[in-house]
Amino acid sequence: MLILSARRRPPGRGVPHRLFAVGALIATVSAIAALAGVVVLAPRWAATQPDRMMLASVVAVGFTLSAVVLCAGLLALPGVSETGGCVLRHVLDALVIAAALWFVGSVLISPPTRILGDWSPTACPAILLPAAAAALAIGVAAIVGMRWSGPRRELLLVGGGVVWAALCGTGLAAGICQRGAGLALVSAAGLPVGLLLVAVARRTPHVPGPRDGDVIRRGTGYAFVPMIAMAVVAMYHVLVRGEFTAMGIAAGSVEGLTLVARQYLALLDVRGYALRLADREAHFRELAHTDPLTGVANRRALLQELHHEVASGRPCVLVALDLDGFKIINDMRGHDVGDAVLVEVGQRLRAQLRPGDVTSRLGGDEFAVLLTATGPDEARRIAERLLTVLNLPYERVEGPVVRLSVSIGMAGSAAAPDVPALLRNADLALRYAKQRGKNRVEQYDSDYDQQLRRRTAVEHEMRGAIERGELHLAYQPVAAVPSVRPVGAEALLRWHHPQLGNVRPDEFIPLAEECGQIGKLGAWVLDQACRQLARWLVDGHDVWVSVNVSPLELHAPEYALQVAEALRAHQVPPQRLVLEVTEHAVATDLDELIRRLRALRATGVRIALDDFGAGYSSLAQLRNLPIDILKIDHSLVAEQGPAQPAVPGRRAFAPMVDIVMRLGHQLGLEVIAEGVTNQAELAVVVEAGCRFGQGALFGWGVPAEHLEAMLDAATSQGSRALPAPRPAPDGRLALPPAPSSPATPVSPAGAGPQVEGDLPTRGVQDLGSVDSAREIRQA
């Protein structure tokens, strides 16, 4: 049965089966030889003692060899011994038990105890080998049973069968050489029982137990129980005045040597285990301080180095880096390309630094470099070099070459009392670099703290500004030229805080866009502007009001409904409301912008393109945009220098204004000149054919009641105010022509043409605030 079972197993998985088959075969041959010898020697049993001794020795050797092979099969079972070292440990553990059994047995069968009485083996040395093999089998079966972590049914059957076969071999040898044929026949008859147990157990499906690689295992009682048993038996033997024979002393010596060898192996195991733990700890420590993607240090490692440098008192500089536009790379090219860029950034940073400097990735596209033993000047040169290196194209990525810029902020340890302050200073410098246009290096300055506190205070106070009544609208008139009559107004948002004072729109509007408050502010401005426009219309003033629109508001799906609701709530004719969109909104998403503008025009309002000429719009975009009005940027009106005034024989002329006017008229658009500050610029826009102007020459942003006074004054002079813009059949804005007037005389000193209703020039005012699109940027 065992041979057939071994032949059915695959070559790589049948080692235990082959060992059991070989051991069973040796035991069977030895038993047959023993039975044959008994049959031959039985007629003259008492006279054949030397022959029986020879036969018993042959049988003892055979069964000893069989027991050793069967024990090897036990140790080769799956899940018992995974390595050669594990086999050696099991063998030594089994020898501890076997030697203890041998010692206890030798003492108990020796005088004066002689626990077996007449059955004590005194005249048959051949019994020693199979008895030792049986003790070893018991030890191996016990150790394997203790180490086995799976189901024990199969293991108990196999171990019991091996032990039983070894004991039968001992009985055969003892019967042949000392106790007679009866014991030999009984032992031979019992041998098939043990082998059958092994065969039946090996035919059942094997379920290996879980492997346990830990050298610190449970179940160490096997080392103490044998020693206690030996000590108790030895003490008893001494008390009964027994003598220790050579076999007992040999068993005790084997026990001691085995325990020493086992302890030495355990020491080696623990030492190796400790080394493996140290290696794993070093590996995990490295992982804990290393960024897994780029291989550079992570935030934890950087903080550790920062604390070390600051504690040592040596000067150091922390350089914070942030990749500009990296999110676009991830969105457009995928995260694989983004990861490849980050890996190359880490490689470039490490290649440019000195020994002792630390490169780290803080997260996302943020990196930091710690420059040790470095002054501000040298750190600045290194930062500039890093800026140049990181701006080079990234050609190792798949697809088109990636180009990125980087913003860098620097902070030295001399200006920071501790590590958190140093990190905060570097972050402030990096933020300042981004605010100043990106792709630059900025060094920390104490003014950044004041700016940050101001920014934080503005952002915090802005959230309740509407509820506290701190906001109000100012209205800058839009005048018809050359009559200089107010025909419309642009609503400008103003904020006066009790502690912060007057907060400029270019300060709090970008913050509102960043923190998500722009929608709330825009809705309030739209409601207040429509409310005031309704009052003016009820009072008989023929005006329109324009409101600036943020790109974030414009791209909100509900904004068109919000505009329609405001018009309905205040009963304002839609054509009286003009929504101004800056060229910056055109540069974001043209197709989406066109859809939003068409939805707004469907409500009846007019659309104006503000800041035209600031550098975003192209002619192709201008043709496709559903707009009604062009507002010429002040930079085109002033042309970065004085316009040519009108003198005898030469008319006032500004080429860019003239070109924009012709373009607007060709596209069927009305044109409003922004930022008109003096008579010379007024003469230029009038000469170019522009009918509407806005700027300091016509009035600043004033409260509603002041503008209403201007409207009353213009009406009381008997002049006819221009009606509000009205839609033409093609859907574009149609403004009535300006009233005819006699030829405009030329003012003295080339100040430009004098027109009816000219306002005095306000030369002492801050001309930087005349451009409403820069004063209030809701867009």
439-490 tens-digit pLDDT: 999 999 888 888 888 888 999 999 999 999 999 999 999 999 988 899 999 9
pLDDT in tens, 32-42: 998 998 888 88
The first and second tokens of residue 551, run together, are 């790109």
What's the half-sphere exposure (Cβ side, CA atoms, 13 Å) at 240? 15
- Do 387 and 408 contact (CB within 8 A), yes or no? yes
Judged against a pLDDT cut of 70, whether residue 336 lies above it is answered with yes
Type of residue at 733: L
pLDDT, position 738: 36
Q: Which residues 6+ apart lie within 8 Å of 268 measured at CB? A: none
Predicted pLDDT of residue 619? 66
Q: Say yes or no to pLDDT of 211 above 60.
A: no
Q: Highest-confidence range of 11-15, 227-231, 728-732, 763-767, by mean pLDDT?
A: 227-231
Chain centroid to Cα 215, Å, comes to 37
> Tell me, what DSSP letter sits at residue 747?
P
Instruction: Map 350-404 to HEC letters.
Output: HHHCCCCCEEEEEECCEEEEEEECCCHHHHHHHHHHHHHHHCCCECCCCCCCECC
Task: Specify the pLDDT at position 77.
Answer: 83
pLDDT of residue 86: 82
Compute the average pLDDT of residues 24-38. Answer: 91
User: Average per-residue pLDDT in the chain?
Assistant: 81
The DSSP secondary-structure symbol of 216 reads S
Tell me: pLDDT of 260 over 70: yes
Q: State the pLDDT at residue 391.
A: 93
Q: How far apart are CA 340 and CA 361, in angstroms?
A: 14
pLDDT at 62: 93
Q: What is the pLDDT of residues 518-565, one digit of tens each?
A: 999 999 999 999 999 999 999 999 999 999 999 889 888 899 999 999
CA 288 – CA 302 distance, rounded (Å):
12
Pick from 2-6, 155-159, 336-340, 734-738: least confident: 734-738
pLDDT over threshold 70, residue 656: yes
User: Per mean pLDDT, which range of 387-391, 499-503, 636-640, 650-654 is the poorest?
Assistant: 650-654
- Lowest average pLDDT, out of 1-5, 212-216, 572-576, 609-613, goes to 212-216
What pLDDT is attached to residue 467? 94
> Which residues neighbour 632 within 8 Å (Cβ) at sequence distance 6 or greater?
612, 613, 657, 660, 671, 672, 673, 674, 685, 690
The reported pTM is: 0.54
Assess whether pLDDT exceeds 90 at residue 702: yes
Residue 145: per-residue pLDDT: 81
User: Percentage of residues in the chain with pLDDT exceeding 90?
Assistant: 37
Please work out, in degrees rounded to the nearest 5, the angle formed at the alpha carbon of residue 422 by the alpha carbons of 417 and 428: 130
Of the candidates 573, 586, 574, the residue with the CA atom closest to the CA atom of residue 624: 586
Rounded distance, CA 329 to CA 341, Å? 9
- Look at residue 119 and tell me whether its pLDDT is greater than 80: no
What was the pLDDT predicted at 657?
84
pLDDT in tens, 732-770: 334 444 333 333 333 332 333 333 333 222 232 232 223
What does residue 707 show for φ and ψ, rounded to 5 degrees? -65, -35
Instruction: Name the 3-class secondary structure at 454.
Output: helix
d(CA 249, CA 256): 11
pLDDT at 273: 85
- Residues found in the chain: 779
Predicted pLDDT at 283: 82
Among the residue ranges 66-70, 82-86, 204-208, 366-370, the one predicted with the least confidence is 204-208
pLDDT in tens, 574-618: 999 999 998 666 656 678 888 889 999 999 999 999 888 765 555
> Predicted confidence band at 389 (pLDDT cuts at 50, 70, 90)?
very high
Q: Is residue 5's pLDDT more than 90?
A: no
Q: What count of other Cβ atoms lies within 10 Å of the Cβ of residue 404?
A: 19
What pLDDT is recorded for position 80? Answer: 80
Q: Taking a C-beta distance cutoff of 8 angstroms, is the pair 410, 426 a contact?
A: yes
Q: How confident is the model at residue 116 (pLDDT cuts 50, 70, 90)?
A: low
Higher pLDDT pick, 215 / 468: 468
pLDDT-derived band at 653 (thresholds 50, 70, 90) equals low
User: In degrees, to the nearest 5, what angle opens at C-alpha 499 toward C-alphas 494 and 503?
Assistant: 25
Nearest to 562 by CA among 598, 519, 531: 519
